Amino acid sequence: MRKAYFDGHVKIYLEGDASDYRGSTLITGFRGFGMVGYNVSKYLALGLWARKVGYVLSKPMPPMVVVEEDGPGFPFDIYYSPRARALIVVNRALPEREHADIYVEALSLMAKEIGVKLAVLVGGLNSQFKPEGERYEYRYLANEFYGGPELDAPEMEEGLGVMGPLALLYMYMTYDEVPSIIILPYAIADRIDVNAARTGIRIIAEKILNTRVNTKPLDEYERRLSIEKEKLLEAILPMMQQAEEEKEERKGMYM
pLDDT tens readout for residues 164-195:
999 999 999 999 999 999 999 999 988 899 99
Compute the CA torsion angle 127, 35, 23, 61 (nearest 10 deg): 140
Q: What is the pLDDT of residue 234?
A: 55
Q: Distance between CA 27 and CA 122 in Å, rounded?
A: 8
Q: What is the pLDDT of residue 213?
A: 95
Where b means 16+ CB within 10 Å and e means fewer, 124-137 reads bbbbeeeeeeeeeb
Residue 145, judged by CB atoms within 10 A of its CB (0-12, 13-18, 19+), counts as middle
Task: Return the axis-axis angle of helices 36-47 and 194-203, rounded to nearest 10°.
Answer: 60
* DSSP letter (8 states) at residue 178: -
Per-residue pLDDT tens over the stretch 87-141: 999 999 988 888 889 999 999 999 999 999 999 999 999 998 888 888 999 999 9
Peptide bond into 149 cis (omega under 30): yes
Homologous superfamily assigned to 2-214: PAC-like subunit (3.40.50.10900)
Q: What is the pLDDT of residue 5?
A: 54
Entry pTM: 0.87
Q: Where are the domains of the chain?
A: 2-214, 216-255
Q: What is the pLDDT of residue 224?
A: 87
Give the mean model confidence (pLDDT) for residues 44-58: 94
Q: What is the pLDDT of residue 113?
A: 92
Asked if 90 and 98 touch (Cβ cutoff 8 Å), the reply is no
Q: What is the pLDDT of residue 236?
A: 47
CA distances from 71 to 80, 108, 131, 181, 223 (A): 16, 27, 41, 30, 20
Residue 215 confidence (pLDDT) above 60? yes
Task: Give the contacts of 28 (CB within 8 A, at least 6 positions apart).
Answer: 37, 41, 88, 89, 90, 91, 107, 119, 120, 121, 122, 169
CB atoms within 10 A of CB 246: 10
Peptide bond into 60 cis (omega under 30): yes
Q: Distance between CA 136 and CA 146 in Å, rounded?
A: 21
Q: What is the pLDDT of residue 188?
A: 92
Q: What is the pLDDT of residue 136?
A: 93
Percent of residues, the chain, with pLDDT higher than 70: 86
Residue 16 confidence (pLDDT) above 70? yes
Q: What is the pLDDT of residue 120?
A: 98
